[in-house]
Amino acid sequence: MTIHQFNPPHPGEFIREVYLEPLGLSANEASRKLKVHSSTFGRLIGGKSDVSAEMAVRLEAVFGRSAESWLAMQDHYDLAHTRPKLNLSGLEPVLFD
């Protein structure tokens, strides 16, 4: 099996580049729309915190992408950054007939 290396953006980076900057929306304005503390949103767009299920639902309501897509974006980011760090050489696959 070939694992393709790619570097998906953190959801916070995506929010900054696709929503905040083009719309001229400040982080404080966005946090008010999301009804979260500005520091919570600041950590997200700074890549310091992850998209939780609750935040995904809030992002869906405010920015329109589905909650599932926000969670998938977080999962893609996490997997891309976790795979290179793991040594799986000692693991044995379960074989199916």
Q: What is the CATH number of the domain that holds 35?
A: 1.10.260.40
pLDDT at 10 over 80: yes
Tally of domains within the chain: 1
User: Is 1 a domain residue?
Assistant: no
For the entire predicted model, the pTM comes to 0.87
User: Is 83 a domain residue?
Assistant: no
Residue carrying structure tokens 């897509």: 69
With the C-alpha atoms ordered 18, 19, 23, 27, is the resulting torsion angle positive or negative? negative
User: How much is the average pLDDT of 35-50?
Assistant: 98
User: Is 86 a domain residue?
Assistant: no
User: How much is the average pLDDT of 3-30?
Assistant: 92
User: How much is the average pLDDT of 22-26?
Assistant: 98
How far apart are the C-alpha atoms of 51 and 53, rounded to whole Å? 7
19: domain range? 11-75
Residue carrying structure tokens 């935040």: 55
pLDDT at 47 over 90: yes
User: Is 5 a domain residue?
Assistant: no
